[in-house]
């Protein structure tokens, strides 16, 4: 197996390769002054099973194009199979038509990837349970929830004082799975409203009883507003300590500031998306999903 990395998350690709005991294979990625990218595979791949690791996070479109080009280059160079590991799948929140006249952007990027030659996809904590149905090639959907459960146990065992919190109604399925992993720890949910035009978030109602410690769990943090408003509401309801677990640190706009200034004590995310130095903040801790990805590659 040969593992290649796009430029979006090379540290994770290196860890995955290391976990599998293989060196990271070489690909040259050049950016022209006008923003176009040119890629070139620097190793012989004829007859090889190849893997490309690329998170399609910020800058989303550039990272998708780079992924497409690497897959195309591998195919043209004679690779036997090409598996794409997309730890964070960009456009996954655009998986249906919300308002008349919109595109289903996720469907477009997936069709393109498949047409170019990816024969299998590995993805982490997809936004909705329906997303695997968009793929006509096999997709292995892995999760960071077990990793979160282990960390939560190590912090709060015997778990009596904690309640799990979904910061929106769309996260209920995720929170139920985590609750089961944590001996049926109780969970509650916040009902949030987002203005699709401005992106502004409001937390309205909370369903369920709070406890001393609240553990908010989400699939991704983008602007950080969902976490900030949910934390405000939890404190109003009497919670004394809040910690947050979210798989994907999208961290757009002023997210680091919003999160650092929020009422949460600690924010745990994973390395599905590389967080550059300038986006790191005191309350942040990054857990690695490399083992989970390496394991799914070794059994598939």
Look up 176 and say whether it is catalytic. Answer: no
Site size for ligand R5P (CB under 6 A): 14
Give the interface segment with ligand R5P, choosing from 12-20, 30-38, 41-49, 162-170 (CB under 6 A): 162-170
Site string for ligand R5P, 226-265 (x = CB under 6 A): x---------------------------------------
Question: Distance (Å, rounded) from C-alpha 225 to C-alpha 259?
Answer: 8
3-state secondary structure at position 117: coil
**Nearest distance from C-beta of residue 164 to ligand R5P, angstroms:** 15
Q: Which of 2, 120, 192, 211 is catalytic?
A: 192
**Residue 139 binds to ligand R5P (criterion: CB under 6 A):** no
Least distance between ligand R5P and beta carbon 85 (Å)? 22
Q: Of 266, 272, 298, 297, whose CA–CA distance to 287 is shortest? A: 272
Please report how close the Cβ of residue 196 comes to ligand R5P at its closest, in angstroms. 12
Q: Which stretch binds ligand R5P (CB under 6 A): 115-123, 154-162, 163-171, 283-291?
A: 163-171
- Cα atoms in the 13 Å half-sphere on the side-chain side of 220: 21
For residue 205, which phi and psi values (nearest 5 degrees)? Answer: -120, 155
Name the token pair of 138. Answer: 């096999």
Query: Is 218 an interacting residue with respect to ligand R5P (CB under 6 A)?
Result: yes
- Does residue 225 touch ligand R5P according to CB under 6 A? yes
279 binds ligand R5P (CB under 6 A): no
Interaction with ligand R5P in 177-196: which residues (CB under 6 A)?
Answer: none
Piece of 7-15, 26-34, 78-86, 220-228 that binds ligand R5P (CB under 6 A): 220-228
Q: Which of 168, 191, 232, 295 contacts ligand R5P by CB under 6 A?
A: 168
Q: Are 296 and 24 in contact (CB under 8 A)?
A: no
Determine what percent of the chain falls in helix, strand and coil, rounding each to the nearest 5. 35, 25, 40
Alpha-helical (H) ranges within the chain are: 10-20, 60-76, 105-116, 145-156, 172-181, 225-236, 255-260, 290-299
Contact segment (CB under 6 A) with ligand R5P among 16-24, 53-61, 82-90, 214-222 equals 214-222
How many CB atoms lie under 10 A from the CB of residue 155? 14
Among 54, 83, 222, 296, binds ligand R5P (CB under 6 A): 222
The distance in angstroms from the start CA to the end CA of the chain is 12
Q: Which of 277, 268, 271 minimizes the C-alpha distance to 13? A: 271
By CB under 6 A, tell whether 170 contacts ligand R5P: yes
Among 8, 55, 56, 223, binds ligand R5P (CB under 6 A): 223
Distance CA 155, CA 74 (A): 44
Catalytic residues: 192
Residue ranges that bind ligand R5P, judged by CB under 6 A: 167-168, 170-171, 201, 218-226
């Amino acid at each position: 197996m040969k593992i290649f990395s796009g430029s979006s998350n090379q540290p994770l690709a290196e860890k995955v390769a290391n976990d599998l005991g293989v060196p990271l294979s070489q690909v040259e990625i050049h950016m022209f002054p006008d923003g176009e990218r040119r890629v070139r595979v620097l190793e012989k791949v004829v007859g090889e099973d190849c893997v490309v690791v690329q998170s399609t996070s910020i800058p989303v479109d550039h990272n998708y194009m780079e992924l497409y080009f690497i897959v195309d280059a591998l195919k043209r160079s004679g690779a036997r199979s090409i598996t794409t590991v997309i730890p964070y799948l960009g456009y996954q929140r655009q998986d249906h038509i919300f308002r008349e006249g919109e595109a289903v952007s996720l469907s477009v990027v997936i069709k393109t990837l498949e047409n170019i030659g990816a024969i299998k996809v590995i993805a982490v904590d997809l936004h909705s349970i329906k997303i695997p149905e968009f793929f006509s090639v096999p997709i292995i959907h892995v999760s960071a929830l077990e990793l979160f459960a282990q960390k939560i146990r190590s912090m709060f065992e015997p778990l009596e004082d904690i309640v799990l919190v979904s910061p929106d109604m769309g996260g209920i399925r995720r929170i139920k799975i985590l609750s089961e992993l944590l001996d049926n720890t109780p969970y509650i949910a916040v009902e949030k409203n987002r203005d699709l035009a401005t992106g502004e978030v409001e937390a309205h109602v909370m369903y369920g009883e709070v406890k001393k410690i609240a553990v908010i769990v989400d699939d991704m943090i983008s602007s950080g507003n969902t976490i900030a408003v949910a934390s405000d509401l939890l404190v109003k309801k009497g919670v004394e300590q809040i910690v947050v677990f979210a798989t994907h640190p999208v961290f757009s706009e002023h997210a680091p500031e919003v999160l650092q200034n929020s009422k949460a004590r600690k924010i745990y995310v994973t390395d599905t998306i590389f967080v550059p130095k300038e986006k790191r903040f005191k309350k942040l801790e990054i857990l690695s999903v490399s083992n989970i990805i390496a394991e799914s590659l070794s059994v598939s």
